[in-house]
Amino acid sequence: MTTVDGLVAEVLANRHGPDPGTVVATSVFWVHHGTRLAGGDTTYRNQYVLVRIGTAFGACAFAEGEADPAVCANYSGAPVASLLTEAPAPVRVAALDAYLASVRPHRTSDAERVVLPVGTPEERARARDAAVAGLLDVSPGAKVALIGVVNPLVAAIRERGAECLPCDLSLRTTQWGDPVTPDMRDVLDVADAVVATGMTIGNGTFDEILRTCRTREIPLVVYAQTASAVARQFLGEGVTALSAEPFPFSQFSADETALYRYRART
């Protein structure tokens, strides 16, 4: 298994748990929200499709037009195998994520559990992104590609003494006016380490990032609300560390919530 499609094929072949033809997705639902953090001029507009299987939720953020609210009625109660083979791409990713999380929940894994504090959106975002940056093991002055830009994570990378190379398909500048490239090759080819969002799994760019990091032998840290259990399958196979944040995400609560930090065994 070296690609996301390869992982799907393994799941459909019953190699990661129970037959997905007999496992039912209890509910498929849709979240659409916007956020503007204090002091910033960026409004983050996020859409997620989520799938629940038993006690686990799977998630995939997606761009406008990639899915339709009708998926909620069309796929709730359907076998996971149907979602993995027939549904739009965001639903397929969320279903794969939910299936893998149901087989091996983050809360019962050997990951480091990090509790995000009670607080405002800004306080919780800073705590979350500091936890992500804490997975980086780089020297001062190292170039860190950030694929999927959130401003608090840019700040957290810089606070570790690294140079942030931001890349995003939607944003064009950071909060501080730094240019953001839409082409990940601009940053992948020169970075000493890569931090990538789980959304790269949803938009199909993850395989190229994974392949590049393997070939260049540079660390790849994934921070994932989207497809956190999917990214976990690649630990030690290109992914060196993972911050997994299952639903409900930190931005949807002011109370304590948890994320789970994994490091590849060496």
**Do 47 and 160 reside in the same domain of the chain?**
no
Q: Is residue 83 located within the same domain as residue 121?
A: no
Residues 206 and 165 in one domain: yes
Instruction: State the average pLDDT for the chain.
Output: 93
pLDDT of residue 64: 82
Q: Are 138 and 162 in a shared domain?
A: yes
Same domain? 129 vs 58: no
- E strand or H helix at 58: strand 56-62
Q: What pLDDT, on the 0 to 100 scale, is given for residue 46?
A: 84
pLDDT digits (tens, 9 = 90+) for 45-99: 789 999 999 999 999 999 888 888 899 999 999 999 999 999 999 999 999 999 9
Pairing of strands 44-53, 56-62: antiparallel
Q: Which of 78, 75, 80 is nearest to 19 (CA)?
A: 80
Q: Does 99 lie in the same domain as 115? A: no
> pLDDT tens digit string along 217-264?
999 999 999 999 999 999 999 999 999 999 989 989 999 999 999 999
For residue 236, what is the domain's CATH number? 3.40.50.11590
Of 103, 121, 143, which marks where a domain is finished? 103
**What's the CA gap between 14 and 8, in Å, rounded?**
10
Total domains, the chain:
2
pTM of the entire structure? 0.94
Question: In sequence order, what are the beta bridge partners of 261?
Answer: 112, 243
CATH code for position 16: 3.30.390
The percent of residues in the chain predicted with pLDDT above 90, rounded, is 80
Instruction: Please report the sign of the dihedral spanned by the C-alpha atoms of residue 62, residue 68, residue 74, residue 77.
Output: positive
CA distance 227 to 63: 15
- Mean pLDDT for 170-176 is 89
pLDDT at position 1 is 61
Q: Quick one: 212 and 131 in the same domain?
A: yes
Tokens matching residue 99? 């299936």
How many Å apart are CA 164 and CA 178, to the nearest integer?
10
Rounded Cα gap, residues 31 and 87, in angstroms:
17
Domain boundary among 57, 86, 103: 103
123 with 231, same domain: the answer is yes
pLDDT of residue 239: 97
The last residue of one of the domains, among 44, 78, 103, is 103
Judge if 119 and 148 occupy the same domain: yes
| DSSP single-letter state for residue 252 | G
Across residues 177-201, what is the average pLDDT?
96
> Is the domain of 118 the same as that of 246?
yes
Structural domain containing residue 204: 111-263
